[in-house]
Amino acid sequence: MGVEGIGASVVRKEDKRFITGKGRYVDDVKLVGMTHAHFVRSPHAHAKVKSIDTSAAAKMPGVLAVLNGKQLVDDKVGNLICGWAITSKDGSPMKMGAWPAMAPETVRFVGQAVAVVIAETKGQARDAAEAVVVNYEELPAVPDIRAAIKPGAAQLHPEAPGNIVYDWTLGDEAAVTSAFAKAASVVSLDITNNRLIPNAMEPRAALADYDTAEDHYTLYTTSQNPHVARLVLSAFYNIAPEHKLRVIAPDVGGGFGSKIYIYPEEMVALWASKKVGRPVKWTGDRSESFLTDAHGRDHVTKAEMAFDKDHKILALRVKTHANFGAYMSLFSSAVPTYLYATLLSGQYVIPAIHAEVIGVYTNTAPVDAYRGAGRPEASYVLERLMETAARQLKVDPAELRSRNFIRQFPYQTPVIMAYDTGDFVASLEAAKKSIDYAGFAARKAKAKSEGKLRGIGVSCYIEACGIAPSKAVGSLGAGVGLWESAEVRVNPVGTIEVLTGSHSHGQGHETTFAQLIADRLGISIDQVQIVHGDTDKVQFGMGTYGSRSAAVGLTAILKAMEKVEAKAKKIAAHALEASEGDIVIENGEFKVAGTDKKIAFPMVALGAYTAHNLPDGMEPGLKESAFYDPTNFTFPAGAYICEVEVDQNTGKTSFVNFVAADDFGRMINPMIVEGQVHGGLAQGIGQALLEGAVYDGNGQLVTASYMDYTMPRADDLPSFKLSHTVTLCPGNPLGIKGCGEAGAIGASAAVINAITDAIGHNKLEMPATPDRVWHAIHAA
Amino acid sequence: MSTVKLTVNGKAVSVDVEDRTLLVHVLRDQLDLTGTHVGCDTSQCGACVVHIDGRAVKSCTVLAGQASGSSVTTIEGIAKGDELHPMQAAFRDNHGLQCGFCTPGMIMTSIDMVHRHGGKLDEATVRHELEGNICRCTGYHNIVKSVLDAASRMKVAQAAE
């Protein structure tokens, strides 16, 4: 392994700038002549824009321009797009309503932009925005799924009758119907997956700089995928041709999916920068973040599971309504379909599955991928059903799961996914041991004798990540490929730059990617610089989301390294007058195996660039690139078990213990992997206990600040006990599955299963606030 | 508009500001000390924490004028040249940060926490004391480890003096 190689918990290289306050986030960047933008936003959830009077605002101090949606149309700026085409069960395409960056005629969610003020200072822009007079004609708002699908409901988009985006199905309905008819037991559950707001700690921001002399744009953006931003801004929004647009995603303060999309604000900042001939910076307030960042989850599901007399699952039937919000966001269509229904087999052998997903427009913020993106929703359905089944069938919940585990791999599920490898028994056993599952009954009885309610909850999750094989997703409607790119540049003195299409906004790539190089060449990670986040430096990349950076991004680097090493070995062999096949790389040196003839790597590099002694016909230089397209998704899986104590008088839940046993395949840096799990668990627990976006009957977001939306804080969470089992992923050379989303996928069900066990009452919605738990306890 | 005079990281500064200007914006926009961050608009997230006259304060909730005559220390001012403050080193060594955005505020709050508790802290107290600092990345597990580690390093350093 080496002290800095694969598997080493190396302290992070990038930390120095963050702990000394020298991080460079978008709002930190200052350009000469910079102006500031402040958006005028709709206070109504659904309204016609009758007129916009900017005359007073335009005269205020420091104001350069007041711009609106009609001007965007006049300048032929494109509408926002959705990049994944989903077809309804009747063969018709999804019903996409137009989403302009600033609404010229109709606003469809509170916070949607209708105008923007560009001024010398933030304060002046904000003051002038308040002087813009917008005349709205209010329309009836449909604030949630139920209201949206009611006959006679107000229609958001002419393209979508009944506010239906699509009605999509997957699986074998006939087989499911027949299995239910033969079932010994049927378990059914109504499940709401509560709407969440991602809330990365850095609000979104954009700094756009149009160079009038070069007719060239530079955009600093809080993006998880700067190249995708450049592609979308040029090819679809018509802001600038790709070769005249540089996109830089510098340090970004968290994303969790919310910073994948290319939002109205960066489009408008770029367009406005050309109009005023100066750089334009927009930095969101936290309230703008709440109102306009893509929200997550928001499913309403009816699920049923059929069992035979031996408690083996015969079939699963799921019907889900998914809230899209007012417009289809970039990735939104895929989240409740190909990232959700395809995981409905879970860790279990389920002979027949059928899922129907109905996408619905509502007058709320657009909904898209948020950490887990579809897989938390699937896992929650399955794990709540299994727990409910265990109680109904009077079987131990862990035992019921184990009886139904898939034990033979590879395993083809009835819902497209083919699991390559895994050992679900090992994770469950590890988790049970870690929490002393066997001793729980005694702990519960002791607590009861002291007047306390104790519960234990299991959650066995599997997910599909390492997104994704391009041909496969293309055949399912994706507009892009999901490969990754890498370029390894060896400098003449032997230091190395690795240019990656992945982007790090907390994941530690500057360290973990360097560890691969250190491992292969036996050099220090200090000799390796990871470059990411700038479209001028890095050839095209697809970015970071879907737990793909190690499985896909790092594999691309490995492929490029193989090419570098092959060429370097040729150079070394020629210099040492040996055969290429006899060259081995050890501790930073290229050696002739079995001899003491060697040449240090920096000398090999120098040889490549001086080109005095290269093999005939070899090009000088030592730089190789690779584009890696995965052949399958990867399938991290594991078992989480949670033990809680519920106070009957207050309904408050306290954690006694929370254990996680995950299988991520190969882990490059276990310390960083565990950090990812901690963060994911916090978000899954947050969903279960604390968080929930609430719109009132008029479509007003009631939870629009940290006063009302409960973010998990340090004293809401326990310390976690993590362990790992390993089945190496056969899909990539390093055996990596990925780990970024697992915690957010599996944790919620463990918490709700534990609380419902404690209170002896199965019906409980997320978030399980003290108020809800108290009422559940005291319900008749 | 007013002229505000204060000391920042040991240096005397004088700035002309609109009366409504917050201390955090003076630091970020006029003094180019961008290590102090703005993460919310309701004074809850803690990304803006600095020390004013030796105590942790949320700089988003202080008008520049209110800080007149005081001594402000930001994240940029706690290392001694190349030598990191034990709290900074502890965050790095214990992987107490991921995206880094909440980190300056976490470090400034935690230094004050250790001082107020005389270096005697346990997990429950640390978690309670971090109520005014929100992190979305780490789940707090390693932040708690970092603070407890720093507390013992700072105790050792104090004893050695």
Give pLDDT tens digits for B65-117: 999 999 999 999 999 999 999 999 999 999 999 999 999 999 999 999 999 99
Q: Say whether both B59 and B90 belong to one domain.
A: no
Q: Searching chain A, which residue's CA lies closest to the CA of residue B41? A: A286
CB-based contact, B13 to chain A, within 8 Å:
no
User: Distance (Å) from the C-alpha of residue B97 to the closest C-alpha of chain A?
Assistant: 8
CATH 3.30.365.10 maps onto chain A at 379-465+633-778, 483-628
> Does the pLDDT at position A255 exceed 90?
yes
Q: Say whether both B126 and B104 belong to one domain.
A: yes
Rounded to whole angstroms, the Cα distance separating A744 from A741 reads: 6
Radius of gyration of chain A, Cα coordinates, nearest whole angstrom: 27
User: Distance (Å) from the C-alpha of residue A533 to the closest C-alpha of chain B?
Assistant: 14
For the record, the structure tokens of A510 come out as 């500057």
User: Distance (Å) from the C-alpha of residue A717 to the closest C-alpha of chain B?
Assistant: 8
| % of residues, chain A, pLDDT over 70 | 100
- Over range B36-40, report the average pLDDT: 98
Question: Final residue of a domain: which of B42, B76, B110?
Answer: B76
**Contact B42/A286 with Cβ under 8 angstroms?**
yes
Mutate to test the interface with A, among B75, B137, B142, B146 (most CBs of A within 10 A): B137
Question: Final residue of a domain: which of B23, B44, B76?
Answer: B76
Q: Say whether both B120 and B59 belong to one domain.
A: no
Per-residue confidence (pLDDT) for residue A1, from 0 to 100: 65
Per-residue confidence (pLDDT) for residue A717, from 0 to 100: 98
Rounded to whole angstroms, the Cα distance separating A226 from A279 reads: 19
Label residue B133 by pLDDT band (50, 70, 90).
Answer: very high
> Does the pLDDT at position A617 exceed 90?
yes
Cβ–Cβ below 8 Å for B98 and A719: no
Residue A195 neighbours by CB under 8 Å, 6+ apart: A295, A296, A297, A298, A323, A364, A367, A692, A693
> Does the pLDDT at position B159 exceed 90?
no
Q: Say whether both B95 and B59 belong to one domain.
A: no
Classify each residue of B39-68 as buried b or exposed e, where b means 16 or more C-beta atoms within 10 Å of its C-beta.
bbbeebbbbbbbbbeeebbbbbebbbbebe
Asked, for residue B94, whether it belongs to a domain, the answer is: yes
Over chain A, what is the mean pLDDT? 97
Could you tell me which CATH class the domain A31-139+201-254+259-292 is placed in? alpha beta
Q: Which domain holds residue B7?
A: 2-76
Q: Model confidence over A262-278: pLDDT tens digits?
A: 999 999 999 999 999 99
> Does the pLDDT at position A97 exceed 90?
yes
Q: Model confidence over A643-667: pLDDT tens digits?
A: 999 999 999 999 999 999 999 999 9
Cβ–Cβ below 8 Å for A18 and B134: no
Radius of gyration of chain B, Cα coordinates, nearest whole angstrom: 16
Cβ–Cβ below 8 Å for A683 and B88: no
Asked, for residue B138, whether it belongs to a domain, the answer is: yes
Residue A446 neighbours by CB under 8 Å, 6+ apart: none
- Residue A91 corresponds to which amino acid? G
- Over range A78-103, report the average pLDDT: 97
Torsion of CA B19, B21, B22, B28, to 10 degrees: -150
CA atoms within 13 A on the CB side of A36: 18
Cross-strand partners of A458: A641
Rounded to whole angstroms, the Cα distance separating A1 from A9 reads: 11
CATH 3.90.1170.50 maps onto chain A at 31-139+201-254+259-292
Beta strand pairing call for B71-73 and B2-8: parallel
Per-residue confidence (pLDDT) for residue A3, from 0 to 100: 87
**Contact A585/A522 with Cβ under 8 angstroms?**
yes
Task: Concatenate the DSSP letters of all residues of A626-639 into one string.
Answer: EEE--SS-B--EEE
Q: Model confidence over A166-202: pLDDT tens digits?
A: 999 999 999 999 999 999 999 999 999 999 999 999 9
Q: Model confidence over A475-508: pLDDT tens digits?
A: 999 999 999 999 999 999 999 999 999 999 999 9
| % of residues, chain A, pLDDT over 90 | 99
For residue A484, the tally of other CB atoms under 10 A from its CB is: 29
Can you give the CATH number for the domain in which B135 is found?
A: 1.10.150.120
Q: Say whether both B97 and B118 belong to one domain.
A: yes
Residue A18 neighbours by CB under 8 Å, 6+ apart: A251, B97, B100, B103
Task: From residue A227, give the alpha-carbon distance in Å to each of A254, A461, A549.
Answer: 18, 32, 15
**Contact A187/A392 with Cβ under 8 angstroms?**
yes
Q: Say whether both B54 and B92 belong to one domain.
A: no
Does residue A602 have a cis bond before it (omega within 30 degrees)?
no
Cβ–Cβ below 8 Å for A28 and B28: yes
Q: Model confidence over A677-712: pLDDT tens digits?
A: 999 999 999 999 999 999 999 999 999 999 999 999
Q: Say whether both B70 and B11 belong to one domain.
A: yes
Place of tokens 């790119």: A485
Helices and strands: H and E segment counts in chain A: 20, 28
User: Distance (Å) from the C-alpha of residue B71 to the closest C-alpha of chain A?
Assistant: 18
Q: Model confidence over A353-376: pLDDT tens digits?
A: 999 999 999 999 999 999 999 999
Q: Say whether both B72 and B91 belong to one domain.
A: no
Cβ–Cβ below 8 Å for B45 and A252: no
CB-based contact, B134 to chain A, within 8 Å:
yes
Per-residue confidence (pLDDT) for residue B155, from 0 to 100: 82
- Residue A705 corresponds to which amino acid? S
Cβ–Cβ below 8 Å for A21 and B33: yes
Torsion of CA A159, A356, A640, A543, to 10 degrees: -40
Asked, for residue B115, whether it belongs to a domain, the answer is: yes
Asked, for residue B95, whether it belongs to a domain, the answer is: yes
Q: Model confidence over A421-451: pLDDT tens digits?
A: 999 999 999 999 999 999 999 999 999 999 9
Place of tokens 């990232």: A339
CB-based contact, A98 to chain B, within 8 Å:
no
Label residue A780 by pLDDT band (50, 70, 90).
Answer: low
Domain count, chain B: 2
Q: Say whether both B100 and B49 belong to one domain.
A: no
**Contact A436/A641 with Cβ under 8 angstroms?**
no
Can you give the CATH number for the domain in which B53 is found?
A: 3.10.20.30
**Contact A176/A253 with Cβ under 8 angstroms?**
no
Asked, for residue B81, whether it belongs to a domain, the answer is: no
User: Distance (Å) from the C-alpha of residue B153 to the closest C-alpha of chain A?
Assistant: 17
Cβ–Cβ below 8 Å for A201 and B99: yes
Question: Final residue of a domain: which of B33, B56, B76?
Answer: B76
Q: Does ipTM surpass 0.95 in this model? A: yes
- Over range A239-245, report the average pLDDT: 95
Cβ–Cβ below 8 Å for A714 and B130: yes
> Does the pLDDT at position A2 exceed 80?
no
Per-residue confidence (pLDDT) for residue A779, from 0 to 100: 84
Smallest Cβ–Cβ distance between B41 and the set A287, A672, A713 belongs to A287
> Does the pLDDT at position B53 exceed 70?
yes
Cβ–Cβ below 8 Å for B99 and A19: no
Cβ–Cβ below 8 Å for B143 and A714: yes
User: Distance (Å) from the C-alpha of residue A141 to the closest C-alpha of chain B?
Assistant: 27
The candidate with the shortest Cα–Cα distance to A21, out of B11, B9, B138, B151, is B9
> Does the pLDDT at position B158 exceed 90?
no
Asked, for residue B152, whether it belongs to a domain, the answer is: yes
Q: Say whether both B66 and B104 belong to one domain.
A: no
Say if pTM beats, i.e. exceeds, 0.90.
yes
Does residue A468 have a cis bond before it (omega within 30 degrees)?
yes
Q: Searching chain A, which residue's CA lies closest to the CA of residue B78? A: A20
Asked, for residue B116, whether it belongs to a domain, the answer is: yes
Q: Say whether both B155 and B114 belong to one domain.
A: yes
Cβ–Cβ below 8 Å for B136 and A680: no
Rounded to whole angstroms, the Cα distance separating A629 from A92 reads: 30
User: Distance (Å) from the C-alpha of residue A551 to the closest C-alpha of chain B?
Assistant: 19
Cβ–Cβ below 8 Å for B36 and A21: yes
Q: Model confidence over A304-347: pLDDT tens digits?
A: 999 999 999 999 999 999 999 999 999 999 999 999 999 999 99
Rounded to whole angstroms, the Cα distance separating A85 from A476 reads: 8
- Over range A287-309, report the average pLDDT: 98
Q: Searching chain B, which residue's CA lies closest to the CA of residue A11? A: B93
- Residue A616 corresponds to which amino acid? D
CA atoms within 13 A on the CB side of A178: 6
Cβ–Cβ below 8 Å for B40 and A286: yes
> Does the pLDDT at position B156 exceed 90?
no
Q: Say whether both B143 and B91 belong to one domain.
A: yes
With helix as H, strand as E and coil as C, how does chain B read?
CEEEEEEECCEEEEEEECCCCEHHHHHHHHCCCCCCCCCCCCCCCCCCEEEECCEEEEHHHCEHHHHCCCEEECHHHCCECCECCHHHHHHHHCCCCCCCCCHHHHHHHHHHHHHHCCCCCCHHHHHHHHHHCCCCCCCCHHHHHHHHHHHHHHHHHHHHC
Q: What is the CATH number of domain A379-465+633-778?
A: 3.30.365.10
**How many CB pairs below 8 Å do chains A and B form together?**
178
Could you tell me which CATH class the domain A483-628 is placed in? alpha beta
